[in-house]
Chains A and B, each alone.
Chain A
Amino acid sequence: SQQGEEDPQALSIQEGENATMNCSYKTSINNLQWYRQNSGRGLVHLILIRSNEREKHSGRLRVTLDTSKKSSSLLITASRAADTASYFCATETSGSRLTFGEGTQLTVNP
């Protein structure tokens, strides 16, 4: 069963604004990853944060991980219309198995 939950399920913002998505999970993890998926397309790996890390940056992306609360957040700064997509968190456990969250549909309006 899916163990990841994301909120919000849908987020609509204006270009230039920041977008924050949250992810919660239930079990111990090796790492947590964020992926992006454009409609009907494959996944694009955005960032991986290990269980012993608390924050990571990559370009306009900032990811935090709180293992005590079993939660993570993805912040996209200065959003662009091209950022419109679905965003999924995925937790990696033993055997490199990934369990995906329900996803957040982000719409960035020009």
Chain B
Amino acid sequence: GAVVSQHPSWVICKSGTSVKIECRSLDFQATTMFWYRQFPKQSLMLMATSNEGSKATYEQGVEKDKFLINHASLTLSTLTVTSAHPEDSSFYICSALGLAGFGQYFGPGTRLTVT
């Protein structure tokens, strides 16, 4: 089946630094990827839709200058959390859109802790 990987699986960074998270579709091409955020004991919230070769579409309330998304190839999307703060600590999950009607394939998630 389709596999999506994320790197790193966990990261600890200091407040004010930037962190890049990668999302890769390993055995299929994904023109569309999605980025979600999940706080402890809460549901997933869609942050943005990443389209290969074009600008990402951000959900209401998500700062595009803080969460930079780049989808430079059909198998890779990156999310950069700029000037991270402790409140950005969360579980970030990406997904890649598969063939029509077969839903999204989710990555294993990246645990970000900002100290």
A contact set with B: CB distance below 8 Å:
2, 4, 31, 33, 35, 40-45, 48, 50, 88, 90, 92, 95-103
Contact = CB atoms under 8 A, between A and B. Distances in A.
Contacts of B45: 2, 100
Interface residues of B, number: 23
A45 B109 contact: no
Given A2-B45, A95-B49, A99-B46, A33 B103 contact: yes
Contacts of B101: 48, 50
B111 interface: yes
B64 to A, nearest CB: 17
Interface string B38-51: 00001111100100
Nearest to A44: B106
Nearest to B43: A100
B34 interface: yes
Contacts of B49: 95, 97
Contacts of B97: 96
A41 B105 CA distance: 14
